[in-house]
Amino acid sequence: AQSVTQPDIHITVSEGASLELRCNYSYGATPYLFWYVQSPGQGLQLLLKYFSGDTLVQGIKGFEAEFKRSQSSFNLRKPSVHWSDAAEYFCAVGATGNQFYFGTGTSLTVIP
Amino acid sequence: DTGVSQDPRHKITKRGQNVTFRCDPISEHNRLYWYRQTLGQGPEFLTYFQNEAQLEKSRLLSDRFSAERPKGSFSTLEIQRTEQGDSAMYLCASGTSSGNTIYFGEGSWLTVV
């Protein structure tokens, strides 16, 4: 069965520090992988996606993610975090436009 | 560029009342999805449409829930005889059958008191 695990419920980083949010997935075939960001009380905004090709994908707001098939991972990274990055981050897996499965999210706090 | 829009954004209702949410997808998108999200959780799939056809429903979608997309454009999600456990954010998303990405609206918050 398809599933997504985000091991870190909450992460706190200092502004300007680097960030890595972890995501592991379980999927029977080659997955389509996504990262979304959600600000309080808002919907989800797409940060980036991976379908095929280069395993390092760039997204909006300076985020990138790397697909590692051997580790079934799709971790999100940012070299220097800004206070405005504080939000909830969701990893998702899907295929052929049917169901999309989401992790439980990682809440990011940025301290000055 | 108009994204996915949802209405109302917030709804407070008494237990036992019926509520209806509306979703207008991105205009060229033929797929429309409903998700439910509770505090501290990720979105959970409820159902999706391709054009006007409802192609899949989750077991989470009890008999009190019904969704329609009569003309293949906007969709409604109705919850009958609301219960406190229905309190959540209901998210709508849209995409295309040829694409593999879905785009979300701002969500509709439901509080059942």
Mean pLDDT per 10-residue run, chain B (113 residues)? 90 98 95 93 93 90 94 95 97 87 94 97
Q: What is the mean pLDDT of chain A?
A: 92
Residue A96 at interface with chain B, using a CB cutoff of 8 Å: yes
In 3-state terms, what secondary structure has residue A24? strand
The pLDDT assigned to A33 comes to 93
Chain B partners of A44 at a C-beta cutoff of 8 Å?
43, 91, 93, 104
The pLDDT assigned to A31 comes to 83
Measured between alpha carbons, how far is A22 from B112 in angstroms, rounded to an integer?
Answer: 34
Nearest to B41 by CA among B60, B22, B25, B64: B60
Residue B103 at interface with chain A, using a CB cutoff of 8 Å: yes
CB A105 within 8 A of CB A39: no
Query: Positive or negative, the Cα torsion across A62, A25, A69, A33?
Result: negative
Percent of chain A with pLDDT over 70: 96
Nearest to A96 by CA among B95, B4, B105, B3: B95
The pLDDT assigned to A28 comes to 74
**Burial class (CB within 10 angstroms; exposed 0-12, middle 13-18, buried 19+) of A21:** buried
Strand A10-14 with A106-111, pairing: parallel
The pLDDT assigned to B1 comes to 53
Tokens standing for residue A11? 């992460």
The A residues from 23 to 62 touching B (CB cutoff 8 Å) are: 32, 34, 36, 41-46, 49, 51
- Contact yes or no for B91 and A44 at CB 8 A: yes
Examine residue B8 and say whether the peptide bond preceding it is cis (omega within 30 degrees of 0): yes
CB B75 within 8 A of CB B92: yes
- Contact yes or no for B101 and A42 at CB 8 A: no
pLDDT digits (tens, 9 = 90+) for A68-107: 999 999 999 999 999 999 999 999 998 655 678 899 999 9
> A74: Cβ–Cβ under 8 A, 6 or more apart, which residues?
A23, A24, A25, A33, A35, A50, A65, A66, A67, A68, A91
pLDDT digits (tens, 9 = 90+) for A19-65: 999 999 998 777 899 999 999 888 899 999 998 889 999 999 999 99
